[in-house]
Amino acid sequence: MFRPQWTRREAKVENLSITVNGTPRRAGAAVNETLLAWLRSEGLTGCKEGCAEGECGACAVLVARDDGQGGTRWDSVNACLMTLAAVDGAEVVTAEALGSPAALHPAQREMAVRGGSQCGYCTPGFVVSMAAEYYRAGRQDGQHGAPNGFDLHALSGNLCRCTGYRPIGDAARALGTPAVDDPLAARRLQTAPASRATRVTAADGEFHRPATLQDALDLLAAHPEAKVLAGGTDWNVDVNLRHARASVVVAVDHLPELRGFEVNDDAIMLGAGLSLSELERRLDGRVPLLSGWFPQFASRLIRNSATLGGNLGTASPIGDSPPALLALDASVVLTGLDGSREVALAEFFTGYRQTLRQPAELIAAVRIPRPLSPLTAFHKIAKRRFDDISSVAVGYALDVQEGVVTRARIGLGGVAATPLRAHEAEAALEGQPWNEATVRRAARVLRRAGTPLDDHRASAAYRAAMLEQSLLKFWFETRGEEVPI
């Protein structure tokens, strides 16, 4: 469907500078313009608009980011979900720069010779995502079930309607290692562009990327109506499809105070401004419940931009992070001009898309107490296994000592106006023997949790049934048994 894009005459300033395919470009920006719209206006039409909500991958580009070791990491992201002003000072590579007809990039060559492209509309996005994995540091033989260590999940979020995925997978598995003279591989040894303060004043409002946390909080105090932008993977869907507009946007994911990460004996602190991919790498399996949750959160393209603070801040009843974090007994650290406060996540959501966060506050971090419960799982019930919105999501964390459940935490999503804890089902488990009879009684209680509705994703009866079946599945999983049909 055709959607009108921002025109150049709406921009009132020319203060953005973005390095695209190795060349700095100046850009004016409307506050609500996307990187995709601007790239196409610059003639880089290999970047396509397919869905405008981050599900097809046709708009994928590479962005240079700090790898945490003084070098650069190439992340694939959805250009349709990136606000143009938010990439001021960034370095972007589009499909056009990966190779040429006379000298194809290895990903392009393998796609061509193995029949990985027919109409070609989706091909540039696939090639970009393939290139991001191709350049991933530490890709080793034998990982991810592929001889070349290629993780096919790196291609999730890229949709092909005509070719079929087998030849595309064949192309990915055929990739070798970058040549010594590969410029994008060499670029990884250099420092990534540093984030910088940005202000755009345009016909449709103001965009701010403040230099400090203090500046950000001052802006929010002065503009309580401001849209706080972290990854933008939720907000920009509304911009693209529902024509939502913000008169003031404040981008905060670059602020050091929101990008902390700490693991100690008492707790794990996760910075609200870290992307989900960054969190996954830093945790490195230390929170098994989150390890099971990460791959089920959208796609790699989305996780490279989406943040924990953004997902919690939207307060969506079907957001995937709350059920997992509720099971972990997590709390949210809010910071404002008067200082910081910590709120239990179970008390954070106050209504449909409403939270305890005040307009002049930011979500700074998520705190997960330690020690962690040993029995955990995350179940997402959706129409697709990956890259889909959940009908129901359930997080589990149990302590069992000498065969008795001493502590139970169950987080739910998709069954009420807010994410919630299943207190009655938890009580039905605690103090009881961890056996099938207990689980079946508690599963019947869990079935009654929340106030599920009938909608286009699932009926209320289906959601209730899935809650009951989920707890039974968790029981059989902990015993290493197949779930009876």
Q: How far apart are CA 92 and CA 34, in angstroms?
A: 14
Q: Where are the beta strands (DSSP E) in 288-327?
A: none
Helices (H), 196-275: 213-222, 235-241
CATH superfamily label, 8-187: Beta-grasp domain (3.10.20.30)
DSSP count for the chain of H helices, then E strands: 16, 20
Domain with CATH 3.10.20.30 in the chain: 8-187
Kindly report whether the peptide bond that precedes residue 371 is cis, defined as omega within 30 degrees of 0: yes
DSSP 96: G
Q: Which of 53, 57, 54, 77 is nearest to 65 (CA)?
A: 77
Q: How far apart are CA 59 and CA 344, in angstroms?
A: 38
380 touches 414 (CB < 8 A): no
Q: How far is CA 57 from CA 48, 50, 51, 154, 449, in A?
A: 9, 8, 8, 11, 36
184 touches 127 (CB < 8 A): no
**What is the bridge-based pairing of β-strands 16-20 and 91-93?**
parallel
- State the amino acid at position 190 in one-letter form: Q
Please calculate the CA angle 303-366-467 and round it to the nearest 5 degrees.
70
pLDDT for 5:
40
What values do phi and psi take at 253, rounded to 5?
-70, -15
- Provide the token pair at 92: 């972007």
Q: Which of 266, 147, 187, 139 is nearest to 21 (CA)?
A: 187
Domain with CATH 3.30.465.10 in the chain: 210-372
- Tens of pLDDT, residue by residue, the chain (485 residues): 333 343 333 334 447 999 999 999 998 878 899 999 999 999 999 999 999 999 999 999 999 999 999 999 999 999 999 999 999 999 999 999 999 989 999 999 999 999 999 999 999 999 999 999 999 998 865 666 677 899 999 999 999 989 889 999 999 999 999 999 999 999 999 999 998 999 999 888 999 999 999 999 999 999 999 999 999 999 999 999 999 999 999 999 999 999 999 999 999 999 999 999 999 999 999 999 999 999 999 999 999 999 999 999 999 999 999 999 999 999 999 999 999 999 999 999 999 999 999 999 999 999 999 999 999 999 999 988 888 899 999 999 999 999 999 999 999 999 999 999 999 999 999 999 999 999 999 999 999 999 999 998 899 999 999 999 999 999 999 988 776 65
Sheet holding 198-202, edge to edge: 198-202, 205-209, 248-251, 227-229
Q: DSSP states of 268-290 as a string?
A: EEEETTSBHHHHHHHHTTSSHHH
What values do phi and psi take at 430, rounded to 5?
-65, 135
- Terminal Cα distance for the chain, rounded: 42
Q: Which of 410, 378, 392 is nearest to 455 (CA)?
A: 392
- Provide the token pair at 458: 């699932």
DSSP 408: E
pLDDT for 11:
38
127 touches 99 (CB < 8 A): no
Q: What is the CATH number of domain 210-372?
A: 3.30.465.10
405 touches 369 (CB < 8 A): no
264 touches 243 (CB < 8 A): no
- Provide the token pair at 1: 């469907």
Q: How far is CA 64 from CA 55, 77, 93, 124, 461, in A?
A: 22, 11, 8, 18, 47
348 touches 332 (CB < 8 A): yes
Long-range contacts, stretch 457-463, CB < 8 angstroms, 24+ apart: 457/382, 457/383, 457/389, 457/391, 457/414, 458/381, 458/391, 458/392, 458/414, 462/391, 463/391, 463/392, 463/414, 463/415
DSSP 9: G
CA atoms within 13 A on the CB side of 34: 34
How many CB atoms neighbour CB 192 within 10 A? 20
What values do phi and psi take at 369, rounded to 5?
-70, 150
Q: Which of 376, 213, 358 is nearest to 286 (CA)?
A: 376
Please calculate the CA angle 454-456-460 and round it to the nearest 5 degrees.
20
The burial of 483, by beta-carbon neighbours within 10 Å (0-12 exposed, 13-18 middle, 19 or more buried), is given as exposed
Q: How far apart are CA 429 and CA 420, in angstroms?
A: 17
CATH superfamily label, 375-485: CO dehydrogenase flavoprotein, C-terminal domain (3.30.390.50)
Domain with CATH 3.30.390.50 in the chain: 375-485
